[in-house]
Structure 1
Amino acid sequence: MYCGDSRGTDIDHFEPINSSPLRTFDWMNHLLACSSCNSNSKRDQFPCDANGTPLLIDPTIDDPYDHLRLILSTGFYRGNTPKGKTTIDVLRLNRGDLQRGRELAFPRCQAMLRDYLRMQDSGNLREATKMLNALQEQPFIGVLHAMFRTAPNPGAEIVLGGAEVLEALKALNFYTG
């Protein structure tokens, strides 16, 4: 739920038991997380602002892209808000393995989108559907979501890696610009 690496092995209490014992068995307080994010980074940290508002992105209610900006070419996250900056710091979202994984996921997404478009255009719908399923089930799916979010912006064709990638996003109806 945090880093997007798809290695979820732990159940994290979003609001830690020591600070919110009444949420111990609250289903919406249980998030699937990798052990690195849960046990090594977040642990029992739960920073709040002066008003008591949590400064971590809650993936059950917050849209991460309101708080984070992914630099697609490098896999680096930047915080757009205090909540985004704190989440990056506490969960160490820019640690080397994650940044590298996102950096490598970007050209993989580009290639898969181009392949999807070619299969779709040639009428090979069965293979196009397989490619779309593979694209949606890969690690670092947040890269694909960032690409969708980038598509309507000016200059998206350059950032996303060409007209074919942008056209594939349009064909998937994720972008209607």
Structure 2
Amino acid sequence: MIPLQRGPLPEELTARMVARTERIAAHRGAAREAWRDARTIRRDLMVHLIAMASGLSRCMYCGDSEGTSIDHFEPIARAPQRAFDWLNHLWACSFCNSNQKRDLFPTDRGGEPLLIDPTSEEPADHLDLVLVTGAYRARTPKGSETIRIFGLDRPVLERGRAHAYVRCRSMLRDLARLVDQEERDEASSVVQALAVQPFADVLYEMLRLRTAPRAALVFGAEAVAGLHALTGPHVATWGPVGR
């Protein structure tokens, strides 16, 4: 899970969503039916959520599967008035949405959510990613509940992250060599491939740790050079990496 930037919606779409919310309030409910009937709004929201998502329309929770549907972070059953709240919409795969999260929404004793919203907070404040094994370790109760509710400890996800780490190190070493040899076109292709691969959390964690004292020892000097190349001023002309 990585932090994601949520931008504003077009005024026209916002106005339609406000009108739907007012209609729900006036009829004292029927939020789920209203959401189900709002096909055009859902279609338009999907465009903006996909643009926010990492890689090629990856699920904002697991980062592995392609997103397929809009998830209400705070479920409609719990907060019907937030059915058309843009700040309550995330892009999720069918497994994370329908099999894992469903209408679950744990809170602490004060009523604060115990799930990480990657569009409003830094997941790394609550989760540690062990790159070699691909396993997440909770740093806080919110991190623990996020792992449990979304099944971030599923073996298939842990194996996928571990393999993504091997893949990232290899691609970063290639990138460092290509940059050193001034092979701009091929370096650009590697940057783009890194940007769209699944498990963006692996590359994000490597970028986060690139200046750590033991980074060169853990990742390898060439991989660290590749990480620094990704964050250099010239990379903006090559394309985005991460989000």
Tell me the TM-score normalised to structure 2 length. Answer: 0.69
Query: In the alignment, is residue 32 of structure 1 matched against residue 58 of structure 2?
Result: no
* Percent identity over paired residues: 55
Of the three residues 155, 166, 183, the one matched with 1:96 is 155
Match of 2:64 in 1: 5
Match of 2:138 in 1: 79
Match of 1:60 in 2: 119
Match of 2:236 in 1: none
Give the match's secondary structure for 1:115: helix
Match runs of 1:1-177 below 5 Å? 1-160=60-219, 162-173=220-231
Give the match's secondary structure for 2:90: strand
C-alpha distance after superposition, 1:43-75 (max 9, x if no partner): 000000001110000111011111111100010
Give the match's secondary structure for 1:78: strand
Give the Cα–Cα distance (whole angstroms) in 1 for the partners of residues 102 and 217 of structure 2.
40
Give the Cα–Cα distance (whole angstroms) in 1 for the partners of residues 217 and 81 of structure 2.
49
C-alpha distance after superposition, 1:11-44 (max 9, x if no partner): 1100000110100011221111011111111100
Q: Identify unmatched segments of 5+ residues in structure 1.
A: none
Give the match's secondary structure for 1:22: helix
Q: CA RMSD in A?
A: 1.1
8 Å Cα contact 1:6/1:140 also seen in 2: no
Give the Cα–Cα distance (whole angstroms) in 2 for the partners of residues 35 and 123 of structure 1.
43
Higher-RCO chain (CA-CA 8 Å, sequence separation at least 6): 2
Alpha-carbon distance, 1:171 to partner? 2.1
Give the Cα–Cα distance (whole angstroms) in 2 for the partners of residues 25 and 110 of structure 1.
41
Q: Provide runs of 4+ in structure 1 moved above 3 Å.
A: none
Alpha-carbon distance, 1:6 to partner? 4.0
Q: Identify unmatched segments of 5+ residues in structure 2.
A: 1-59, 233-243
Find the structure with the greater CA-based Rg. Answer: 2
8 Å Cα contact 2:173/2:222 also seen in 1: yes
C-alpha distance after superposition, 1:125-155 (max 9, x if no partner): 0110111010111011110001011222221
Give the match's secondary structure for 1:32: strand
C-alpha distance after superposition, 1:71-107 (max 9, x if no partner): 0001000011111111001111010111111011001
Give the Cα–Cα distance (whole angstroms) in 1 for the partners of residues 213 and 139 of structure 2.
19
8 Å Cα contact 2:191/2:230 also seen in 1: no
8 Å Cα contact 1:74/1:99 also seen in 2: yes
